């Protein structure tokens, strides 16, 4: 049998049993032997400590001897007494023998004191004290296993003793424990471990039972419901109130059950609706047959009307074509008028621009000449100032002559002393005369210049008046005339453009009408063809209606079969 074919309950029990068996084997073959080894090691360790205590007591007495406090014999006697009185665990003791096999002190078997014990052997043939001496010689200390009777008993019992050599006196001090005491401890521990193991095993069985029994019941419940689902019974849900994997499985089954319930309910309702719809369709198909007959008659009438419409459309199309030609002629003439108006507008604009340019240039020249003439007239007034200055110079020259005359008179009165001054006075008088002549000459020239300037001013004033009152006014008139021409040309151009636009719109409208009429004509032809097709299709519909009725009858039979199958489900 394969593992996957074993029931889940048996798998869980097998797993629990395997764990318990593994646990028991682990305790029996590992934990208990390990505990025994630990107890033995601890027992030997305890013996080491006890022997060290007795050894320390002997060493103490030896040190007293070495220190001279007591004699060696006294030290040995006291050491024996001290060790003889030492006890542990109530009745356990120490003994002392030497390396020659003489029992120096045995607190229990006193008959052995001061006798040779080399030949003593246990029932197993072990020479006990020879072994002690051998271990002492080889290692100085160690353990020996043998058999020795307990205090107050004659029957030897297994025993382990620890001995240690005190070299200074060649003494061997030792003590031991009986193996049965160790066994008792081990047995006690084994009993406790066994009890604990049994408790754990029982608890494991109880725990496994607590898990497997409810698990088995839950699985039984799930299996019962799945068997019902297999027989199409979806009326009950799986009632499991737990949150583990089985609870999740149960929840999933319940969701499936609920979904199937809804699906079957919907299928049943849909089937009823399909049945009702099929009956309605069957009635509609009967009405369709009646309507099809009426459509055949109406279609024939429509076909005749379409033929008459096609003939009327052809007549209207010819009339629209003549209107389109007339409008096209008007549009062309409007375009020519607009072109001529545009030329007039262009020339009027050029005339206006030239007049404005000439007016601007003439005005600029007039303003420049006027400004320069006014500046020249202002500057010509400086000639008068020159005349005035010349008059002043003549006055100064006359006064200079008078002063020179007075100076000559004074120099003549002065005689020889004023001769040099008289010469200067004569020179000054001569200079004054020359200045007077020069001034008179300049005055003549200035008078000529003044006369010429006055003539120039008069001529310039007349020219400026002519430009201002005549030329500039004429240029302004030219500008106004050019502006009027420009406005008239613009208005004429707008009228022509508007007329052309209207013509184009009318042409477009006429074209659209012609196109629509063409479409109507084509549509009428197509309609005639379509009507003929409709007649054929109507006949096909009439024939197919009976086939549809047959299919509907077949569908009703299939729906009844579907309802029969749905009725097998229990919800």
Could you tell me the residue ranges of all domains in the chain? 3-212, 281-564
Alpha-carbon span 483 to 470, nearest angstrom: 20
Alpha-carbon span 365 to 359, nearest angstrom: 10
H/E segment holding residue 165: strand 156-166
pLDDT beyond 90 at 166 = yes
Sheet architecture: strand order including 95-98 = 103-105, 95-98, 171-178, 156-166, 141-149
H/E segment holding residue 115: none
Q: What percentage of the chain reaches a pLDDT higher than 90? A: 18
Tell me which residue of 383, 510, 355, 553 sits closest to 453, measured CA to CA.
383
Q: How confident is the model at residue 308 (pLDDT cuts 50, 70, 90)?
A: low
* Least reliable range by pLDDT among 335-339, 402-406, 469-473, 519-523: 519-523
How much is the pTM?
Answer: 0.34
Q: What is the pLDDT of residues 206-219, one digit of tens each?
A: 887 787 787 777 77
What distance lies between CA 521 and its chain's CA centroid? 64
Q: What is the pLDDT of residues 77-90, one digit of tens each?
A: 999 999 999 998 87
Alpha-carbon span 395 to 392, nearest angstrom: 5
Of the options 3.30.930.10, 3.40.50.300, 1.10.287.950, 3.30.300.30, the CATH number for the domain spanning 281-564: 1.10.287.950
Q: What is the pLDDT of residues 416-440, one digit of tens each?
A: 766 776 777 787 778 778 877 876 7
Report the half-sphere exposure of 294 (CA within 13 A, side-chain side): 5
Task: Indicate the DSSP class of residue 70.
Answer: S
430 to 82, 397, 401, 418, 551: CA distances (angstroms) = 181, 10, 8, 18, 159
pLDDT beyond 50 at 451 = yes
Can you tell me which residue has the tokens 């646990």?
23
Report the half-sphere exposure of 101 (CA within 13 A, side-chain side): 12
Q: Which residue has the higher pLDDT, 99 or 89?
A: 99
Q: Which residue has the higher pLDDT, 314 or 163?
A: 163
pLDDT beyond 70 at 376 = no
Written as six digits, the tokens of 132 are 């002690």
Residue count of the chain:
571
Q: Which residues pair with 92 in a beta bridge?
A: 88
What is the architecture of the domain spanning 3-212?
2-Layer Sandwich (3.30)
Q: How confident is the model at residue 480 (pLDDT cuts 50, 70, 90)?
A: confident
Q: What is the pLDDT of residue 63?
A: 97
Q: How confident is the model at residue 540 (pLDDT cuts 50, 70, 90)?
A: confident
Residue 162, SS3 per DSSP:
strand
Alpha-carbon span 40 to 310, nearest angstrom: 131
Q: What is the pLDDT of residues 181-211, one digit of tens each?
A: 555 665 677 677 778 878 887 888 788 778 7
**Average pLDDT rounded to a whole number, residues 126-143:** 95
pLDDT beyond 50 at 316 = no
């Amino acid at each position: 049998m394969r593992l996957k074919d074993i029931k889940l309950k048996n798998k869980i029990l097998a797993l629990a049993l395997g764990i318990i068996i593994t646990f028991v084997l682990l305790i029996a073959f590992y934990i208990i032997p390990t505990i025994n080894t630990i107890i033995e090691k601890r027992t030997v360790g305890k013996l080491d400590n006890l022997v060290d205590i007795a050894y320390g007591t002997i060493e103490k007495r030896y040190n007293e001897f070495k220190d001279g406090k007591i004699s060696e014999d006294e030290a040995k006697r006291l050491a024996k007494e001290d060790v003889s009185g030492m006890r542990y665990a109530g009745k356990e003791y120490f003994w002392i023998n030497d390396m020659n096999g003489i029992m120096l002190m045995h607190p229990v078997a006193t008959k052995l004191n001061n006798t040779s014990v080399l030949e003593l052997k246990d029932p197993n043939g072990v020479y006990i004290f020879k072994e002690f001496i051998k271990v002492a010689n080889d290692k100085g200390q160690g353990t020996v296993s043998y058999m020795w009777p307990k205090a107050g008993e004659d029957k030897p019992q297994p025993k382990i003793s620890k001995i240690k050599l005190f070299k200074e006196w060649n003494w061997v001090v030792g003590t031991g424990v009986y193996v049965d005491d160790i066994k008792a401890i081990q047995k006690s521990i084994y009993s406790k471990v066994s009890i604990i193991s049994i408790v754990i095993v029982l608890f494991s069985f109880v725990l496994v039972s607590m898990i497997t029994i409810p698990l088995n019941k839950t699985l039984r419940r799930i299996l019962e419901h799945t068997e019902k689902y297999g027989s199409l019974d979806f009326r009950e849900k799986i009632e499991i109130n737990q949150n583990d994997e089985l609870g999740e499985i149960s929840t999933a089954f319940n969701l499936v059950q609920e979904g199937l319930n809804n699906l079957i309910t919907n299928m049943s309702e849909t089937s009823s609706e399909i049945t009702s719809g099929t009956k309605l369709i069957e009635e509609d198909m009967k009405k369709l047959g009646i309507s099809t007959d009426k459509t055949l008659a109406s279609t024939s009438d429509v076909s005749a009307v379409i033929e008459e419409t096609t003939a009327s459309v052809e007549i209207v199309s010819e009339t629209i074509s003549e209107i389109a030609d007339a409008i096209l002629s008007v549009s062309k003439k409007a375009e020519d008028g607009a072109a001529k108006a545009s030329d007039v507008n262009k020339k009027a604009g050029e005339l206006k621009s030239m007049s404005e340019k000439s007016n601007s240039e003439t005005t600029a020249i007039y303003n420049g000449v006027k400004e320069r003439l006014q500046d020249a007239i202002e500057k010509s007034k400086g000639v008068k100032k020159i005349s005035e200055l010349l008059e002043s110079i003549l006055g100064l020259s006359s006064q200079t002559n008078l002063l020179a005359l007075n100076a000559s008179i004074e120099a003549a009165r002065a005689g020889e002393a004023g001769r040099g001054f008289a010469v200067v006075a004569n020179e000054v008088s001569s200079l004054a005369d020359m200045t007077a002549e020069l001034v008179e000459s300049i005055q003549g020239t200035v008078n000529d210049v003044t006369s010429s300037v006055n003539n120039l001013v008069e001529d310039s004033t007349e020219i400026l008046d002519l430009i201002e009152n005549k030329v500039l006014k004429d240029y302004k008139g030219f500008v106004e005339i050019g502006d009027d021409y420009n406005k008239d040309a613009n208005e004429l151009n707008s009228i022509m453009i508007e007329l052309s636009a209207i013509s184009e719109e009318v042409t477009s409208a006429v074209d659209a009408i012609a196109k629509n009429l063409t479409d109507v004509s084509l549509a009428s032809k197509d309609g005639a063809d379509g009507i003929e097709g409709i007649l054929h299709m109507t006949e096909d519909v009439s024939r197919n209606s009976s086939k549809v009725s047959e299919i509907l009858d077949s569908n009703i039979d299939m729906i009844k079969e579907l309802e029969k199958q749905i009725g097998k489900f229990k919800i």
